[in-house]
Amino acid sequence: MKDWTDRLNGGGEAVCKPSPRSFGDIVEGQAMLVPTARQVDAFIRSIPPGVSMDVRALRTALAVEHGAEVTCPVTIGYHLRTVAEAAHEQLERGAAEAGLTPFWRVLSARTPTTAKLSFGAGFGARKRREEGLEE
């Protein structure tokens, strides 16, 4: 079974395609980015310390960065969890906190993905407090 780091590095390619249907805030036919976990990880790493971004803003910024109108909300949910779980996995393997992907800049206590994390919300909440980010 793949661990979270394997899933993060699991290849695949981003796709930009017309949305097959309307759902959430996406309208059928809009150019929709389906990103890779690695792209989501790289984008989160670009968010500076002390700055937070909600998931909707992340989706919008990723779409613009890749020439799309929207980013798939389902895929983002999966990849946000993968990024956070892989970062925590690295921490458990002895990596320094300073080198982790700062997923806490996107995932707050109010983000649904946070409730799904195997390691709970405590680590991210602590990192948010350290950076002066609102819960």
Helix crossing, 73-92 with 37-45: angle to 10°?
Answer: 70
Write out the DSSP string of 65-114. HTT-SEE-HHHHHHHHHHHHHHHHHHHHTT--GGGS--GGGT--TTSGGG
Q: Which domain holds residue 123?
A: 4-130
Residue 11's pLDDT band (cuts 50, 70, 90): confident
pLDDT tens for residues 15-72? 999 999 998 889 999 999 999 999 999 999 999 999 999 999 999 999 999 999 999 9
User: Mean pLDDT for the chain?
Assistant: 95
Q: Read off the pLDDT of each residue in 106-133 and give the average, rounded to a whole number.
A: 96
Please give the pLDDT value at position 12.
Answer: 85
Please give the pLDDT value at position 2.
Answer: 86
Helix crossing, 55-65 with 73-92: angle to 10°?
Answer: 100
**SS3 state at 64:** helix
Residue 94 lies in a domain: yes
Residue 135 lies in a domain: no
